[in-house]
Amino acid sequence: MFTLDHIAVAGHSRKEATSLVQSCLEEAPAAAGLHPHFGTHNHLWGMGDDCYLESIAINPEAPTPLFPRWFGLDHFFGQPRIASWILATLDINAAIDNLGPEFGTPITLERGPYKWAISVSNTGELPFGGYGPALIQWNGTSHPSQDLADSGCRLQTLVVQHPHAAKMQDTFGKMISDTRVRIVEGPSEISAKIRTGSGVVLMK
């Protein structure tokens, strides 16, 4: 079974992506980080012990990798927006074997106390035209949600809207145990309703 691990907001720059999140949550990020393997960097917000949020973008100061970056960032265009949702699994290899090659292969990464494997396709793009999930398996006992300062914000629902929602549901939706995740039919869009100190906001 899968549970929602975190949500990634992308932008042309980390500043743009972070600005979107910060304006919605009215909270400054709790941490910043670098991903040398993919040449990206991020900011992080804690949202309780079972979910967190990140802004992410290509790091202009990092060398360009010889392979595609994750989350389709090499082809990102337009305004900052939710670019990916990441599902946690206890066995990423078995999950990908079950779902198919379009979900990518596991890439093992490490940063500070965190060790994880995440699914990345050979193009860097996510399944279902960029609207399907990435998969992650955390190794060890450390997880960002446990260590980040709590913003006080809480995810209420993550809505994944897609013209082929029925196929999404049949492929992986039935394996999602997290009731906050909803897959519905319509024009492609990912949105999140988040309860903040000022009320519920809609982030897209």
pLDDT tens for each residue of 56-66: 999 999 999 99
What's the pLDDT at 130?
Answer: 96
In a domain, 196, yes or no: no
Q: How many domains does the chain have?
A: 1
Tell me the HSE value of 185 on the side-chain side, using a 13 A CA sphere. 5
Q: Say which residue the tokens 């999404």 belong to.
A: 168
In a domain, 66, yes or no: yes
- 40 burial type by CB count under 10 A (0-12 exposed, 13-18 middle, 19+ buried): buried
pTM, two decimal places? 0.96
pLDDT band for 133, please (50, 70, 90 cuts): very high
Mean pLDDT in residue range 76-84: 97
pLDDT for the residue numbered 28: 97
In this structure, what CATH number is given to the domain that contains residue 15? 3.10.180.10
* Across 93-113, average pLDDT: 95
The answer to whether residue 184 is domain-embedded is no
Residue 139 lies in a domain: yes
Domain-located, residue 177: no
* Structural domain boundaries, residue 70: 3-150
Asked if 182 and 159 touch (Cβ cutoff 8 Å), the reply is yes
